[in-house]
Every structure is written in C-alpha cells, then in structure tokens.
Copies of this chain bind each other. A is one copy, B any other.
Amino acid sequence: MNIGLIGTGTIGSGVIALYQNNFDKLKSHAKKPFKLKTICDLDFSKCPYDLSAFQKTSSYKELIADPEINIIVELIGGDEPARTIIETALKAKKHVITANKLVLAKYGKELLKIADDNNVSLLYEASVGGAIPIINNLKDSLSPNNFKEIVGILNGTTNFILTKMQKEGADYSVVLKEAQKLGYAEADPSSDVEGLDSSYKLSILASIAFQTEISIDQILMEGITKISAKDINYAKNLDASIKLLAIARNTDKGLELRVHPVIISNTHPLASVNYVFNAIYVDGDATGESMFYGRGAGSIPTAGSVWADILNIINESAYGTEKKQTINILPKEEIASKYYIRLLVEDKPGVLAEISGIFAKRNISIKEAIQKGAGEDAELVVVTHTIKEGIKNSAIKEIKALSCIKDVASIIRVGI
C-alpha cells in the first residue's frame, strides 16, 4: 500500500515523524507492506523533518492521479480546497484519512456516501479529540450500546483558559493573552472561545453515536467569553468547576445538542480534566458510564490517530459508514437546564422579590439566592431549578428591563 500525504503543517509533520521514528512499530501491526511515497504542499519549509526520502509535489491532482497511491491523507484543514481534495480522491477510488473537522461537520454525509459508492473508506479519527480514539470506539467497542449521552471537553484552548482561571483566580482576558503567548490560542480565538470548534466536533461524534445527520445550526452554542473570575470563585465554593462542555443527550422528546459552559461538581470525572487535555464521557445502556481521556491536539499525538486510521485501512479492518436511522432533534428552545444567574443590582430592598416574581409567574422556583457586596458592588446570585431555554430567555429579558437591575453579568448552566 502506498500513501500520499497532503499538507505538512503541524499534524502532517507529526505523520512524517512517526513514519521515520516508529516505523518498526507501525510495521509490526500492518498485515501488508506500506510506504509513505509522496508528500504534497505548496511550501515544505514548515516541516522540521528530513523529507529527502519522499517524492514531492505541489499538485494534489498529480498526487491523486498516481495509480500507485492507494491512501490519501488530507491534512491541510479548512473548507476549500480540502473538501474538493477529499471528494476527488474518493472518486478516484482512493481511501482517504483526514483530521478536518470543518469539512466533516459540513459535508460529512455526502462525502461518506461518495466513499461508500466507490467502495473505499473515509476515516477521520484525528478530527475529534486529537489522540483520543473516540471515533473508532464509538463505531467499534462501544457499538453494542444505545447511547444515553455523550459529554465532551473537546477544545483544549478553552479548557486551558478555564483551568488557569480556576487554579489562579485570574480573569478571562488575562488568561486568554497568556494562552495566545503560549501558542494554545490563536490571534483570533473566536472559533475556540465561542464554541464553534466544539460544535463541529460534537456534530461529528453525535452523528456516529446516534447514526443520524446533524447540522451545526441545530446545536445550542454559547462560548466562554463572559465567564468571570467571580463566577469561577462561586463554582469553587460549591466544590465545582466551570467547563465548556459539548453535550448530546437522547431524551424522550428528541436528541438534545448543546455546547456551553457548565458548572459541574468536582466529583464528576470530567471535572478533573484540566489544561489542554480533552475527554469524552459516554453513557450507554450496555457498557454504562465510561470516559476517554487524552491529548486533544499536538503534532505527534494527533498523528498517532492518523496512523491508527492508516493501519485500519492497510489491515482492512476499517468500519464503513453506518446505516442512518432517523432521530428527532430537540428544538433549541426545548433544551432545559438549571441556571446560575449573577446580577449587578441596586442596593435596595425588594430586588429579590421582583426577581422571584418573574420566575414564579413562569412556575419556576429558585433553588438558592445569595446577596453579595453593597452599594455600587451589590450583586445578587440566583440559582434556579430546571428551565427550558425559551422560558429562560423570556425571563432574562424581563429581568433586564427592571429598573433595579444594572446588568445581567453572567448566566451559566449548572449540572449536566
């Protein structure tokens, strides 16, 4: 089997490094001989490894047209030309391996159909959770389950920021700058901190676990930019942590899909997943609660997942696409949560009564209310019982309009 690699950036370089350093190990697991024959990029200078052993080209078309190449590894990322490369390769009856979450989330269904029609595999273990073999496990070891829920910490940047805030008490903007300096966050961090990256990944995981198609706009999405040191401190006092969670949950009424910060108890296994680590917690009716933890990014770790996919192709042990079943997706406004709401308020009597009234007329009881500070710094923290998204939005709108409310500083979901 001959492999063609397109893209020699972070993950592509890792694929080359493992080929050079771990060849004996890879070979011991391969049932047939294999060779990394050709690498393709417009600029090879980003790759720190010796590339003299490989054929080089700047044309992906030329690489795909090579009749000796059976497996194409697409690692350039982004929308186009990645999507076209994958489609062209599949139609040329080449197996394709990619780490491209965006292409998978947007065009996964049609590309998997093209793979099926051409009797080749499209594998993408590295697209979610970096080194964590969650996709393979959902398709394989966990497949006897009817899944109840999948809850993931799928974005290392935001988990690094939230962990730093939790450990050091620092505020969001300070820690974001540090993460950018360390290379854990990009200059424009919006895709990570607004939850888009996690949403792409959730749509990939949920589409496998629930054997259905999911589009990004069906996911309730909220980022971490409004989390303050005060909120983290409140969570700490409850022996809890704030994590950006991606949740897919099978309810009586349909599949609930959400990405947002959550205050979770420190007894939950996800609470101790810190810094750049990722983890996916899975609950199914067969195997029960399980969790897969590991490095969510990084050159060599992610390349490990790419090589695992390559070995599955070589050994003809790859799982094909799944038969799709239809599962109803719960409308966002039906998603229900408990809420922690931190309000900046006028320091005068009756504020709590007004707030309680707004919830009471919606038939929602307040679990806890704490008044803090005084004068200019007067705050009111309210923790509600479970409210549906739509009702919460209308209550918040009404609260914002109250004259005694200076600002709704934070709204964070509690528990999963």
Contacts and interface: CB of A to CB of B under 8 A. Distances in A.
Oligomer copy total: 2
A24 B196 CA distance: 34
A404 interface: no
Interface string A118-151: 0000000100000111001101111111100000
Nearest to A125: B141
A297 to B, nearest CB: 10
A281 to B, nearest CB: 8
Interface string A11-26: 0000000100110011
A144 B18 contact: yes
A137 B22 CA distance: 18
Contact of A308 (B144, B317, B325): B144
A295 B281 CA distance: 12
Interface stretch (A32-40, A109-117, A223-231, A284-292): A284-292
A137, A273, A303, A325: which has the most chain B beta carbons within 10 Å? A137
A375 to B, nearest CB: 39
Interface in A277-336: 284-295, 298, 300-301, 303-305, 307-308, 311-312, 315-320, 322-323, 325
B288 A145 contact: no
B290 A132 contact: yes
Contacts of A211: 28
A319 B311 CA distance: 11
A29 interface: yes
Contacts of A317: 140, 316-319
A294 B291 contact: yes
B286 A146 contact: no
Nearest to A17: B286
- Top 8 nearest A-B pairs (CB, nearest first) are A133-B141, A290-B294, A286-B304, A131-B287, A287-B304, A317-B317, A291-B293, A144-B307
25 contacts: A29-B322, A125-B141, A131-B288, A131-B290, A132-B290, A133-B142, A137-B137, A140-B308, A142-B308, A143-B308, A144-B307, A269-B272, A286-B300, A286-B304, A286-B307, A287-B295, A287-B300, A287-B301, A289-B294, A291-B291, A291-B294, A292-B293, A315-B319, A316-B316, A317-B319
